[in-house]
Amino acid sequence: MNFNTRTSRTPLALASTALMASLLLSGCGQEADPGTKESSSAESSASSQPSQSASEKTVDQNALLETNDKLSEELGDAYVQGWIEDGKLHVSTTDEAQKNTIEQAGAVSHVVDFSREELREAINKIMRWQGQQQNPINSAIHAYMLNPETGGITLSVDKGQLDKVKELIAADKPIGDIPIDYKGSSGILSPAATQ
């Protein structure tokens, strides 16, 4: 994996795409209560309403992405990662003094212990550690992600090997004190599996 090609906007763009899909689909299949009849002008107003609010949400998402990009540039090495949760931009930083800058930009600030570079290096160390393990552990970790909320990393691990991977990582400590969250995984995604 080449982590240098990802931008700070990539995880937010993926999250906003998922959010938009859920917003657009949330109104599907809803009907008026039985026994009520809407006028044709109310029907046309109601049918135009979802697209108006969806486009408003798109504008908000774009504004949040732009704010995230600006904060990434402004904070420099102190910027860890941003994410959107409950319609708000959250940004993690390693520098307590940057909380005010983040909050003045309209985002929720989080101070974490490890920098983006330290977390990326932790992922590299986990990958090297995994490569030294015996089968099936050497192929049990399917995905590696920065976790800006905890200031650590998240590993997606084969459900059948999850306990063993946790046990081995706890014993070997390949990334020291950096927090690790684990998610069960059904396998490595492929382009065919995502369609």
- pLDDT tens-digit series, residues 92-126: 999 999 999 999 999 999 999 999 999 999 999 99
Instruction: Please give the single-letter amino acid code of residue 85.
Output: E
State the pLDDT confidence band at 49, using cuts at 50, 70 and 90: very low
Domain final residue pick, 64, 85, 111: 111
pLDDT-derived band of residue 12, with 50, 70 and 90 as boundaries?
Answer: low
Kindly report which listed range (22-31, 58-67, 173-182) carries the lowest average pLDDT score: 22-31
Bond before 136 cis per omega within 30 degrees: yes
Give strand pairing partners of 144: 155
**pLDDT at residue 53 is higher than 90:** no
| Count of domains for the chain | 2
Q: Is the pLDDT of residue 71 over 80?
A: yes
Same-domain pairing of 173 and 91: no
Which runs of consecutive H residues, i.e. helices, occur in the chain? 9-25, 40-75, 99-104, 116-131, 162-172
Q: Cα-atom radius of gyration of the chain, to the nearest Å? A: 21
> Considering the chain, what is the average pLDDT of its residues?
78
Look up the domain containing 16 and give its range: 9-23+35-111
